[in-house]
Amino acid sequence: MSKIEPVKRVLSYCSWPLVFFSGLAGSYFSFSSDHPMVAFSAVYLSAIAVLFGLERYIPYEGRWLQPDGETANDIAHTLLTKGLLEIATLLAAIFPMLAASVLQPLATLQFSLWPSALPMIIQIVLAVTIAEFGLYWSHRIAHEKLFFWRFHALHHSVTRLWVVNTGRFHVVDSLFKLTLSQIPLYLLGAPLQVFWWLAAVTAFIGILTHCNVDMKTGPFDFVFSTPRLHRWHHSQEIREGNTNYGENIVVFDLLFGTYFNPDRPSSTDIGIKGQIARGFLPQLAQPFTKEGVRQILGRRPKGN
């Protein structure tokens, strides 16, 4: 046996917890620094670089290493839609009373419901769970209702999973998810640091679920959204793809019967039946036209 094989085996078992928990440790020091967002960005980019290397050293699917012509679009969607919306969410959290005046006419609550006296770790777990309820249902609705699927299909149109297409979301899809997941935290008066931590957990879980790394996640599959579970979610087979809606944790998949984790390698047959436009701007515009929706849904033009 090659001496390198044991190294790969160890990495396959250790890479998920190492990247996730070291990312959270880096976030802790970042949020305690004088420039928290700059420091966090450095930690996040470092995690992406590590996963990019692991994808080439222990890939889950070798053919996913081949270019698909969508890298530039994936980066654009990450930076210009999902990324900017996340930044806007954090900025809004800086002004909770302003958010309250828009989101909650009954401002007499004065944001006194959040349990700020609890240890921060408990506040983070609470925030992740509350936000996950909205993330789960927005994600499930996006699969079960065609109006929302027209926007969410962009994310599922990828034919390979890798760390760079983690943030490939239509702006409407991202807004829908943020609305359902973040408003409860605003109304409860969650402090800014809780929003930072929620964003950090989501960021690291996100790049891990999409990475093309052969990770053995074992018991983590019953708590967190993992690469194994998310590959099933991207399957072209509807009974497999309409499962595992959890973005960060899988508690609501378990509660509502959408958890799917059979004892076999997860799917590599991913993508959608329809067709997504080529180019960043055409992809943003496509769901707003009748012809674009027909293309997304894989339907033939009328008269054919």
CB-CB neighbours of 91 under 10 Å: 11
30-44, 88-102, 158-172, 193-207: lowest mean pLDDT where? 88-102
Asked whether the predicted pLDDT for residue 201 surpasses 90, the reply is: yes
pLDDT of residue 100: 42
Give 82's Cβ-side CA count (13 Å radius): 22
143-156 pLDDT, tens digit each: 999 999 999 999 99
Average pLDDT, the chain: 87
Tokens of 123: 């506040």
Tell me how many degrees the CA angle 251-256-259 measures, rounded to the nearest 5: 65
Sequence-separated contacts (24+) of 8-12 with Cβ below 8 Å: 8/57, 8/58, 8/214, 11/54, 11/57, 11/58, 12/58, 12/213, 12/214, 12/215, 12/216
62-104 pLDDT, tens digit each: 999 887 777 777 777 776 665 555 555 444 444 443 444 454 4
pLDDT of residue 81: 62
Using 50, 70 and 90 to split pLDDT, how confident is the model at 207?
Answer: very high
CA–CA separation, 298 vs 304, rounded Å? 13
pLDDT of residue 301: 64
pLDDT of residue 149: 96
Please give the average per-residue pLDDT across 129-133, as a whole number.
Answer: 97
- Higher-confidence residue of 182 and 87: namely 182
pLDDT of residue 186: 87
pLDDT of residue 97: 37
CA torsion through residues 238, 244, 246, 247, sign: negative
pLDDT of residue 37: 83
pLDDT of residue 68: 76
Domain boundary assignment for the chain: 4-297
56-65, 88-97, 196-205, 290-299: lowest mean pLDDT where? 88-97
pLDDT of residue 99: 44
239-287 pLDDT, tens digit each: 999 999 999 999 999 999 999 999 999 989 999 988 999 988 899 999 9
40-44, 159-163, 197-201, 297-301: lowest mean pLDDT where? 297-301
